């Protein structure tokens, strides 16, 4: 189940297997190769899923080609907090 408490501008369905090991690399490739702009991005993931798929999640974050990568928060927080930059 997904609950969103903010506006969603668009959704892209990736035609890949619904596992972290398949989905995360495909999502990263899509973001890096198809989306315009590289200033910032945001990854939303619950703690249980992140812990269960730590290796593939860490690799996905490493592979994202963005100036600021926010995990479970909005991208401007990366630049607004002097401790994060």
Mean pLDDT of 13-33: 95
Q: Report the predicted TM-score, pTM, of the whole model to 2 decimal places.
A: 0.82
In 3D space, the residue among 40, 48, 49, 45 whose CA is nearest the CA of residue 70 turns out to be: 40
Task: Count CB-CB contacts under 10 A for residue 83.
Answer: 4
Domains of the chain: which residue ranges?
38-85
Q: Which of 23-27, 44-48, 58-62, 78-82 bottoms out in mean pLDDT, i.e. has the lowest?
A: 78-82
At which residue do the structure tokens 């994060």 appear?
84
pLDDT computed for residue 21 by the predictor: 96
Mean pLDDT of 20-26: 96
pLDDT in tens, 38-77: 888 999 999 999 999 999 999 999 999 998 899 998 888 8
Of the CA atoms within 13 Å of residue 63, those in its CB half-sphere come to 16
- Residues of the chain with pLDDT > 90, as a percent, come to 56
Residue 36, token pair as written in the block: 């315009």
Q: List Cα–Cα distances, 40 to 31, 58, 68, in angstroms.
A: 11, 17, 5
């Amino acid at each position: 189940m997904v609950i969103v408490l903010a506006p969603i501008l668009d959704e892209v369905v990736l035609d890949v297997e619904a596992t972290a090991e398949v989905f995360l690399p495909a999502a990263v490739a899509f973001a890096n190769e198809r989306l315009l702009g590289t200033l910032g991005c945001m990854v939303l993931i619950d703690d249980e899923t992140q812990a269960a798929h730590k290796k593939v999640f860490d690799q996905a974050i490493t592979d994202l080609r963005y100036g600021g990568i926010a995990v479970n928060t909005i991208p401007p927080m990366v630049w607004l907090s002097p401790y994060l930059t």
